A and B are shown apart, each in its own frame.
Chain A
Amino acid sequence: DAGVTQSPTHLIKTRGQHVTLRCSPISGHKSVSWYQQVLGQGPQFIFQYYEKEERGRGNFPDRFSARQFPNYSSELNVNALLLGDSALYLCASSLDNQPQHFGDGTRLSIL
């Protein structure tokens, strides 16, 4: 069975641009969460979606938004990129109240 898949694997953007990151959950998983992992730190929670509804949001500015589609895949959008947005963005999926399984992430570099 395929695990959580994320695309693209790497991305380079410049300040002020916007970016869309994509995630496909494990088949049957209806919950998708997004995390930001800055080098040398643990992942920081950004959003959780369940059945296309936002269920939780971390301490991130409104430049960060997300959505979940009917097939449970998800997109994370970041507008007006800043140098500090450079990080590994991780997507995780789970059955409703079960442990999360992570993808390999999208490494975003802002120049």
Chain B
Amino acid sequence: GEDVEQSLFLSVREGDSSVINCTYTDSSSTYLYWYKQEPGAGLQLLTYIFSNMDMKQDQRLTVLLNKKDKHLSLRIADTQTGDSAIYFCAEREQTGGFKTIFGAGTRLFVKA
């Protein structure tokens, strides 16, 4: 079945780059997303990439997609303490409905 996997924790120093990795299984996925969740809040859509793209850049965020290896990454440049949160990778099914499958989330700690 479909599955999305992420590492659980990442710790970086303020000003460094953060790279959060994700692997997924559904090769028919059309969209792949990155969401951010702060304590007590819902999910904020950060960025997304179509499955026919390799890279997308949006200000400090860079998404890389390796479709052959089913690997997605999110790079945050110049990481700030305000970036501390849980980051979820998600894939959207193309078949059998339109559900979005989420990973368990990567908790990013940014040290001042």
Contact = CB atoms under 8 A, between A and B. Distances in A.
Interface of A: 4, 31, 33, 35, 40-45, 48, 50, 55-58, 90, 92, 97, 99-105
Nearest to B99: A45
Given A42-B104, A43-B102, A100-B45, A48 B97 contact: yes
A33 B45 contact: no
A102 B97 contact: no
26 contacts: A4-B42, A31-B98, A33-B100, A41-B105, A42-B90, A42-B102, A42-B104, A43-B43, A43-B102, A44-B102, A50-B98, A56-B96, A56-B97, A56-B98, A56-B99, A57-B97, A90-B43, A92-B43, A99-B31, A99-B33, A99-B45, A99-B48, A101-B45, A102-B42, A104-B41, A105-B41
B109 interface: no
A107 B105 CA distance: 19
B88 interface: yes
Contacts of A90: 42-43
Contact of A41 (B41, B100, B101, B104): B104
Which bucket holds chain B's interface residue count?
Answer: 20 to 34
A45 B45 contact: no
Which of B43, B97, B105 has the most chain A CB atoms closer than 10 A to its own CB? B43
Contacts of A44: 102
Contacts of A33: 98-100
Contacts of A56: 96-99
Give me the 3 closest cross-chain CB pairs, A-B, nearest first.
Answer: A56-B97, A42-B102, A45-B99
Given A42-B88, A99-B31, 14 more contacts: A41-B104, A41-B105, A42-B105, A43-B102, A48-B97, A56-B96, A56-B99, A90-B42, A100-B45, A102-B35, A102-B42, A102-B44, A104-B41, A104-B42
Nearest to A88: B42
A57 B99 CA distance: 8
